[in-house]
Amino acid sequence: MTAAPAAPVRPPSPGARRLRLLSYNVRSLRDDRRALARVIRACEPDLVCVQESPRYWRPEGQAAWLARSTGTTVLAGGGRTAAGPLLLGRPGAVDLLGVHDRLLPKTRGLHARGFATALLRLPGGAPFSVTSCHLSLNPEERYGQFELLLDQLAIAELGIVAGDFNEHPDGPGWELLASRLQDGHVAAPWGGEFTSVPERPYQRIDAVFATPGITVLGCGVPHGLPGVTEADLRAATDHLPVLAFLEIPERQSVA
């Protein structure tokens, strides 16, 4: 694996606020939970977009365990309100302005899906939305969910979408999203590209997207980041995480 630097090195833009966002499919916490918690802590995220948070057995308690074990708090999603996606935040890192979770239309015989969405603000920064998602394995249903993700961005002028898209970058839904948003790893490649499977990564199905106006400083799988070991990445779950370094513009004053 190619080693990643501790963080992308770039002077901050005047007035911008920096954000570290991690997206991670945790496979319902069925694997090595301690390894998972170590990976998340080592990435030092301000926000964590979780996919496959447990949703059938004590979902609130499981989400609370994950938050407690990673030094975060639950901001949105989890359990029944978003059917799996969950949004965690480092205490004091962001102000929570609103929760906009959404259960999606369900195709008979397929899993229920949803979005965990929050409207947030960094101290002194402009409001922005963050959505964690885990899209369908069914191509037709999945494309409709990509379209709904674009609708979800109407919550704020600035927005971030992160998750497990169950599609490759040459798929029609991914291309739809990339035509409107910045694909983080394409905009500022950093770390590793492929997110599945941890033992032999060969495909990119997890990503972080951002609206124009948000600056992507670096985005990718955090191979070689201090504290993130390959053993923990393999043991934690069946996906690799995506870490994005972002700049959010400052809040504009009203004249």
Angle at 145 between CA 142 and CA 146, to 5 degrees: 90
What's the pLDDT band for 254 if we cut at 50, 70, 90? very low
Instruction: Output DSSP code: residue 4.
Output: -
pLDDT beyond 80 at 189: yes
**Angle between the N-to-C axes of helices 172-180 and 139-152, in degrees from 0 to 180, rounded to the nearest 10:** 10
The pLDDT mean for the chain works out to 93
How many whole angstroms separate alpha carbon 106 and alpha carbon 156? 26
Please report the pLDDT score of residue 85 as a whole number: 97
The predicted model scores a pTM of 0.94
pLDDT beyond 60 at 13: yes
Average pLDDT value for residue range 17-25: 97
Average pLDDT value for residue range 53-58: 78
pLDDT over 90 percentage in the chain: 83
What's the pLDDT band for 2 if we cut at 50, 70, 90? low
**Beta 17-25 vs 47-51: how paired, if at all?**
parallel
Q: Which of 4, 53, 6 is nearest to 25 (CA)?
A: 53
Q: Which pLDDT tens digit goes with each residue over 101-158? A: 999 998 888 889 999 999 999 998 999 999 999 999 999 999 999 999 999 999 999 9
pLDDT beyond 60 at 1: no
Structure tokens at 115: 């979005």
pLDDT beyond 50 at 57: yes
Instruction: Output DSSP code: residue 157.
Output: S
Question: What CATH number is given for 17-248 in this structure?
Answer: 3.60.10.10
Instruction: Please state which of the ranges 56-60, 84-88, 208-212 shows the lowest mean pLDDT.
Output: 56-60
Q: Which pLDDT tens digit goes with each residue over 192-221? A: 999 999 999 999 999 999 999 999 999 999
Nearby residues of 156 by Cβ (< 8 Å), 6 or more positions away:
119, 127, 128, 129
What's the pLDDT band for 3 if we cut at 50, 70, 90? low
Q: Using an 8 Å Cβ cutoff, are 79 and 55 in contact? A: yes
Please report the pLDDT score of residue 203 as a whole number: 98
pLDDT beyond 70 at 84: yes
Question: 255 or 169: whose pLDDT is higher?
Answer: 169
H or E stretch including 231?
helix 230-236
